[in-house]
Amino acid sequence: MVGKTIKKWWPIFVVPTLAAFIIGFLWPFIWGIYLSFCKFTTVQDVTFVGFSNYQKILLDNTFSHAFWLTVAFAFISSILINVLAFAIALALTKGFKGTNAFRTVFFMPNLIGGIVLGYIWQTLLNGLLSKWGQPLLALSAKNGFIGMLILLCWQQIGYMMIIYVAGLNNVSPDLIEAAQIDGATSRQILFKIKLPMIMPSVTICTFLTLTNGFKMFDQNLSLTGGDPAKQSQLLALNIYDTFYARSGPQWKGIGQAKAVVFFILVVAIALIQLKATSSKEVQQ
Amino acid sequence: MKMKKVTAMGMAVLMAATMIPAVPAMADDAGKVYYLNFKPEQDEDWQNLAKEYTEETGTEVTVVTAASGQYETTLQSEMAKSDAPTLFQVNGPVGLKNWKDYCYDLKDSDIYSQLTSDSYSLKDGDAVDGIAYVIESYGLIVNKTLLEKAGYTLDDIKSFDDLKKVADDIQSKKDDLGIKGAFTSAGMDGSSDWRFKTHLANLPIYYEYKEDGIDDTDAIKGTYLDNYKNVFDLYITDSTCDGSELSAKTADDSRNEFVNGEAVFYQNGSWEYSELSKTFKDDELAMIPIYFGVDDANEGLATGTENYWCVNKNASEADVKATLDFMNWCVTSEAGTKSMAEDMGFTIPFKTAEAPSNVFVKQDAEYTEAGLTPVSWNFTTMPSEEWKNTLGSALTAYAAGSGSWDDVKSAFVDNWATEKALSE
């Protein structure tokens, strides 16, 4: 019965979404890849130039610094966010009073857009730095980097926490009780029972934090803008700058080529990570 | 079966609906104007002027203003549309590089024949690709009341040494005068750093070009960078705040300090008049040249343009004609010239221009009449935005004490050659 209804009605559910996906994602994506082989000012008239854009990626000396900085940033931020989010999730599944209020508060930063957050944190951090007599965010690459870490942690810990909370709530109390009867310490319960049981959550959280770290753009733009002298510029902002801050039509194609390389890197790293963490998932 | 028909019909309706906006546009062959405006300050005035033109001639004029700092981005996406702007702007020879394939040759247009001087056109070979529609000046805006309170008049400042002497003296007795500093904060935030990485940086370029008798170069020598340093040092020493705080100071901070009477000198341009005249009377304000210690006796205000009108050659013939008519009307008709002079406060380089009420613009004319040479705007030849940004970062670090002047020099000289090479 249900199958018959679905057969009749599927286009209403599938076609709009599929159309939106093709128009809004798939087509621009394919077009974007094609553009990386072209020289263009507007996407209306383009000249095919083959691989020359890819050869020029390293021409302006900014790509490799941005690349390594992004790698460092993505790894440090994923570790920090996941450890802290998991710790908070553990604390908030102990069942003490006001748990829900805390969960809401921790989740809230996620609802604010990155640009706004960047400017708010810029004011806050600069105020603090000038009180300490430290160089401001735009003057010190180290402070800028730490500032971005603080900002991203603050924004994302709440979200990851919710995923961990859901995972922890699904760990069967029977298993924990059995372990306790067998004389397991709370440390053993955490590492031998809870953690293996929530590996699916860990997979999804590391995936999200890693890719978010790699893709971070708006927070970078508004918090430091890449200052000083591009020392705090991450890859996404580097691509944006290649596209818009340089004169001459050839740079649009080079920016596009960088974006394609960037895409391949993110996909490769995300796939490796997915494979690594999902192999540790256990069946109950 | 019935369901399939309904679905198919629904889809057809949906598809048809997406086509509706295209229909009226296709029926219209009278020609229309779509102007992508660069100056957010004048958005309202342009809207009014466009409305007036439509009422008078029946030609449809759409004016869209890009958000501050977003012009290139907006232009790029608008140009890719089927209803692309027919009239757009570039900021000079470097900006033209991106768009010269889209520029209609204005050689035979009416508006080109109205220009007071050929130097206000932007050429690519023989083709006239752009026409400047506004001339602006910048220099040091002075709060005359405060200057007199400190015991000086404008006549006391005729050179860089005078300026330094007066500024140092004002700075030393700022508490008695009830001010925070001689100069408003030289903010290096993105909203304000163009005053130094672009406008102030124009002076060493101007003097070098002048000495070498050129108007563009692939490798700048930096002959006058010491003078650049002297002026910038003066800005950050006799300032309302510490050099290390400048990286976070905005354009609004700087203007507010001037408006609130916390500083005497404020480097900015004639476009600030509409904002400043809300607080100050005309005789309380003056603009003096940024004395550079090279040829102070003959230096006038920095006067030029980075606003060139270009007509999209890919537009339909009717649209191009409508656009040319509109441009010509703006700078020759009574309503157009009046709006540009009074509402927008522009000096326009056309024969029929009306005198603007802007006090800084009037001063520029007085200086020129008195025999001073206006400093031309050579920053339109700066290699790229990238070059300016790098210079800005180096200046910020220098002001804060974390970077050296050598870094600024290298950002100025070495990076010029690098960026010029990269833009070819």
Q: Are both A19 and A65 inside the same structural domain?
A: no
| Weakest mean pLDDT among A59-68, A141-150, A244-253 | A244-253
Is B311 in the same domain as B299? no
In a domain, B346, yes or no: yes
Q: Are residues A205 and A144 in the same domain?
A: yes
Domain match, A201 and A243 both: yes
Do B179 and B298 lie in one domain? The reply is yes
Is B13 a member of any domain?
Answer: no
What is residue B261's predicted lDDT score, i.e. its pLDDT? 93
Task: Please report residues of A whose CB lies closer than 8 A to that of B248.
Answer: 122-123, 126, 130, 136-138
**Same domain flag for B341 and B330:** yes
Partners of residue B76 in chain A, C-beta under 8 Å: 41-42
* Residues of chain B found within 8 Å of residue A137, distances taken between Cβ atoms: 247-248
pLDDT for position B23: 40
Q: What's the pLDDT score for residue B26?
A: 42
Q: Are residues A192 and A224 in the same domain?
A: yes
Among A71-75, B179-183, B215-219, the range scoring the smallest mean pLDDT is B215-219
**Are B312 and B417 in the same domain?**
no
How close does chain B come to A130, measured CA to CA in Å? Answer: 7
In whole angstroms, what is the distance from residue A143 CA to residue A137 CA? 6
Please tell me the total count of domains within chain A: 2
- The answer, yes or no, to whether residue B121 has pLDDT greater than 80, is yes
What DSSP element (H or E) covers A196? Answer: helix A195-197
On whether both A149 and A247 belong to a single domain, the answer is yes
Name the domain boundary from B320, B351, B382. B351
In the predicted model, what is the mean pLDDT of residues A40-68?
A: 83
pTM score: 0.78
- Do residues A188 and A59 share a domain? yes
Q: Which of residues 97-156 of B touch A (CB under 8 A)?
A: 97-99, 101-102
pLDDT more than 90, % of chain A:
36
> Residue B422's closest chain A neighbor by CA?
A60
- Verify whether the Cβ–Cβ distance A245 to B385 is below 8 Å: yes
B2 occurs within a structural domain? no
Beta strand B33-37 pairing with B61-65: parallel
Looking at the fold, whether B172 and B235 belong to one and the same domain comes out as yes
Q: Residue B129 pLDDT more than 60?
A: yes
A-interface mutation test, from B2, B393, B410, B419, most A Cβ less than 10 A away:
B393
The closest CB to that of A42, out of B76, B95, B389, belongs to: B76
Q: pLDDT tens-digit profile of A234-244? A: 999 999 888 88
Total CB pairs under 8 A between chain A and B: 96
pLDDT at B29: 63
More confident residue, A29 or A96: A29
Residue B17 lies in a domain: no
Does A59 contact chain B (CB < 8 Å)? yes
Token output for B160: 């860089």
B11 reaches A (C-beta below 8 A): yes
Among A128, A140, A121, which Cα is nearest to B396's? A140
| Model confidence at B230: pLDDT above 90 | yes
Question: What is the pLDDT of chain B when averaged over all its residues?
Answer: 87
Structural domain contains residue B5 = no
Has residue A225 been placed in a domain? yes
Residue B243 lies in a domain: yes
Assess whether B291 and B311 both reside in one domain: no
Please name the member of B73, B247, B402 whose beta carbon is closest to the beta carbon of A244. Answer: B73
Instruction: Indicate if B36 and B62 belong to the same structural domain.
Output: yes
Q: Do A248 and B424 touch (CB under 8 A)?
A: yes
For residue B20, is it within any domain? no
Overall average pLDDT of the A87-106 stretch = 86
Query: A14-28, A46-60, A86-100, B99-113: which range is least confident on average?
Result: A46-60
Biggest CA-to-CA distance, chain A: 73
Whether residue A171 sits in one domain with residue A123: yes
Residues B159, B245: one domain? yes
**Would you say residue B7 has pLDDT above 70?**
no
Number of domains in chain B: 2
Given an 8 Å threshold on Cβ–Cβ distance, is A41 in contact with B73? Answer: no
- Clarify whether residues A179 and A83 are in a common domain: yes
DSSP line for A67-95: HHHHHHHHHHHHHHHHHHHHHHHHHTTS-
Same domain, B234 and B258: yes
Kindly indicate the confidence band of residue B11, based on its pLDDT and cuts at 50, 70 and 90: low
Does one domain contain both A152 and A24?
Answer: no
Q: Has residue A28 been placed in a domain?
A: yes
Is the CB of residue B402 less than 8 Å away from at least one CB of chain A? Answer: yes
The rounded distance, in Å, linking the Cα atoms of A76 and A91 is 23
Non-local CB neighbours of A8 within 8 Å, separated by 6+ positions: B3
Q: What is the share, in percent, of chain B residues with pLDDT greater than 70?
A: 93
- Clarify whether residues A39 and A92 are in a common domain: no
pLDDT tens for B356-412 read 888 898 888 889 888 898 999 998 889 888 899 889 989 998 998 888 999 999 999
Average pLDDT of the residues in A64-71: 91
Average pLDDT over residues B409-423: 89
> What is the structure's pLDDT at B257?
94
For residue B27, what pLDDT band results from cuts at 50, 70 and 90? Answer: very low
- Specify if A283 maps to a domain: no
CA nearest A246 in B: which residue? B384
> What pLDDT score does B171 carry?
93
On whether both A48 and A69 belong to a single domain, the answer is no
**Percent with pLDDT over 90 in chain B:** 48
| B219 and B271 inside one domain | yes
Q: Has residue A204 been placed in a domain?
A: yes
- 3-class secondary structure per residue, chain B: CHHHHHHHHHHHHHHHHHHCCHHHHHHCCCCCEEEEECCHHHHHHHHHHHHHHHHHHCCCEEEEECCCCCHHHHHHHHHCCCCCCCEEEECCHHHHHHHHHHECCCCCCHHHHHECCHHHEEEECCEEEEEECCEEEEEEEEEHHHHHHCCCCHHHCCCHHHHHHHHHHHHHCHHHHCCCEEECCCCCCCCCCHHHHHHHCHHHHHHHHHHHCCCCCCCCCCCCHHHHHHHHHHHHHCECCCHHHHHHCCHHHHHHHHHCCCEEEEEEEHHHHHHHCCCCCHHHEEEECCCCCCCHHHEEEEEECCCEEEEECCCCHHHHHHHHHHHHHHHHCHHHHHHHHHHCCCECCECCCCCCCCHHHHHHHHHHHCCCEEECCHHHHCCCHHHHHHHHHHHHHHHHCCCCHHHHHHHHCHHHHHHHHHHC
Q: Are residues B169 and B280 in the same domain?
A: yes
State the CATH number of the domain containing residue B180.
3.40.190.10
Q: Is B79 in contact with A44 (Cβ distance < 8 A)?
A: yes
Does the residue B381 lie in any domain? yes
Domain that holds residue A116: 54-278
CATH for A175: 1.10.3720.10
* Nearest chain B alpha carbon to A133: B244
> Is pLDDT at B214 greater than 50 in this prediction?
yes
Task: List CB contacts (< 8 A) between A18 and chain B.
Answer: none
Please give the average per-residue pLDDT across B259-283, as a whole number. 90
User: B residues 299-358 near A, CB within 8 Å?
Assistant: none
For an interface test with A, give the residue of B247, B382, B398 to mutate (most A CBs within 10 A): B247
State chain A's mean pLDDT as an integer. 87
For the segment B70-81, the average pLDDT, to the nearest whole number, is 86
Which residue of chain B comes nearest to A12, CA vs CA? B7
Q: Is the pLDDT of residue B16 over 60?
A: no
For residue B254, what are the domain limits?
A: 138-303+363-423
pLDDT confidence tier of residue B22, bands split at 50, 70 and 90: very low
Same domain, A47 and A80: no
| Residue B9: band (very low, low, confident or very high) from pLDDT cuts 50, 70, 90 | low
| Co-location of B106 and B149 in the same domain | no
Answer whether residue B18 shows pLDDT above 60. no
Give the single-character DSSP code of A46. Answer: E
- Contacts with A, B 174-213, CB within 8 Å: 188, 190
User: Distance from A43 to chain B by nearest Cα, in Å?
Assistant: 6
ipTM: 0.71
